[in-house]
Copies of this chain bind each other. A is one copy, B any other.
């Protein structure tokens, strides 16, 4: 009787040479799956390592390695002289019906068991992130003008001297020198009145909105949202189960009177006062004060998203609402991801004193803190004046790009596309003046990779206007002119 009769036959075990995994590992995996699936029944005896090695054409060490591991994990019982026996106790085995199923997991399974809030989160509709560099991609900074060498040097400086100070866990609220630099910058540049302790370093505006929604809103509570408005904010508040109440925007910004009439007891108002997204208007001072007064009286919160306020071309920017707030109702959010570059993942939220502790605790409980190295590099970049210089240069460059876009629209698309407010920011909204649907336009231009976005999906209620959101910060003046020509040729 040949030796192989001493154990079950195992043809399916043949390992694949040339694959990535070591042979003993492959053998171990296959044996384990065979045991778990029931292909190798409990108490069945395996061939000796010598026999199996011969049979499979591998070294005895390979088989020995696999058996040792299976032994350690309790899949085999090895006894000197009497070989190896499948050892998985019957009572511990998965039911046959399940184990016989193929290992691919989702295909045949029912819908995954998400929670109700999980379903809301998974359904959230977010604005497409600026991943492709296309002429009209909104919120895309001028990557071609970014001072890569200065940033690289700031990073390298800290990476080279990576000591315990920058390697151990950072504070959840953020790296103190960066918080100080942000507070100083916001005070002079944006009229934000805060001490550095009120500044929390986050990864993105989206994280700021998510934290605000979780900390300040319970399910079913109402939130004012500008109409049209920022999809990311809507996603954050709706994911949190809040009831979003659209409040129209006119030439002076949010219609505070309409908000007060429709949802006087809302718990929170989300606004983009310095440069309304997407319409580009500025919230007037009387409206600002009315909004603050409503929030004070209703004990509601105002989330001020100052996303691209640094770029203003005609007049000096209005200071932030936060600087006018004496009742401690404003949370001020800003981001470096639009001024520096999108993959940086550094943003900030300035909160009233009373909220510093709860927000810091929540940050710790939800994801910890931002990476220390990039925080330290950002602090250095600001302290050295590189940030202010970069802002100045971008303000000039974006003004030129904006002019080029507006000029090209006037020349190539007059009567078809009517630009809205364009005194600030990194995009302009152009309405379809002669009718038609923005969906059709974007679909027609899709293959040209222009990056224009539709206006109408940014409306929550009825009466959506048709138009295009055209970023101008990411492309050269010549690139923008060419893109407008392409766009107008495809006018349809």
**How many residues of chain A get a CB closer than 8 Å to chain B's CBs?**
134
Q: Is the CB of A364 within 8 A of B126?
A: yes
Chain A residues 198 to 240 lying within 8 A of chain B, measured CB to CB, are 202-204, 206-207, 210, 214-218, 221, 235-236, 239
Interface assignment of A371: CB less than 8 Å from any CB of chain B: yes
A168 neighbours in B (Cβ, 8 Å):
129-133, 140, 143, 341-343
Q: How far is the CB of A108 from chain B (nearest CB, A)?
A: 10
Interface assignment of A362: CB less than 8 Å from any CB of chain B: yes
A371 neighbours in B (Cβ, 8 Å):
203, 343-345, 371, 374
Given the known inter-chain contacts A117-B218, A168-B343, please indicate yes or no for A188 contacting B25, CB distance below 8 A: yes
CA distance A151 to B155 in the complex (A): 12
Q: Which residue of B lies closest to A129 (CB)?
A: B169
A75 neighbours in B (Cβ, 8 Å):
285
Q: Is the CB of B343 within 8 A of A372?
A: yes
A365 neighbours in B (Cβ, 8 Å):
121, 124, 126, 206, 210, 235-236, 239
Pairs of residues from A and B, 4 with the lowest C-beta to C-beta distance, nearest first: A106-B353, A105-B328, A106-B354, A118-B215
CA distance A162 to B94 in the complex (A): 50
Contact of A68 among B206, B316, B327, B344 (CB under 8 A): B316
- A 173-193 to B, binary, CB cutoff 8 A, 1 in contact else 0: 000000000001001100101
CA distance A357 to B122 in the complex (A): 8
- A 102-133 to B, binary, CB cutoff 8 A, 1 in contact else 0: 01111101011111111101111010011111
Contact of A88 among B131, B285, B373 (CB under 8 A): B285
- A 294-308 to B, binary, CB cutoff 8 A, 1 in contact else 0: 001001010000000
A374 neighbours in B (Cβ, 8 Å):
371, 373-374
Q: Is the CB of A72 within 8 A of B152?
A: no
A126 neighbours in B (Cβ, 8 Å):
361, 364-365
Interface-located stretch among A318-326, A385-393, A453-461, A476-484 = A318-326
* A115-B214, A148-B162, A151-B162 known, 4 other contacts, Cβ within 8 Å: A73-B318, A112-B352, A131-B170, A371-B371
Interface assignment of A55: CB less than 8 Å from any CB of chain B: no
Contact of A92 among B216, B286, B299 (CB under 8 A): B286
Could you list which residues of chain A lie within 8 angstroms of chain B, going by C-beta atoms? 20-22, 25, 29, 32, 36, 68-69, 72-75, 88-89, 91-95, 98-99, 101, 103-107, 109, 111-119, 121-124, 126, 129-133, 140, 143, 146, 148, 151-152, 155-156, 159-160, 162-164, 166-171, 184, 187-188, 191, 193, 202-204, 206-207, 210, 214-218, 221, 235-236, 239, 267, 284-286, 289-290, 292-293, 296, 299, 301, 315-316, 318-319, 323-328, 337, 341-345, 352-355, 357-359, 361-362, 364-374
CA distance A12 to B188 in the complex (A): 20
Given the known inter-chain contacts A146-B167, A203-B367, A345-B368, please indicate yes or no for A361 contacting B122, CB distance below 8 A: yes
A289 neighbours in B (Cβ, 8 Å):
88, 92-94
Q: Is the CB of A109 within 8 A of B354?
A: yes
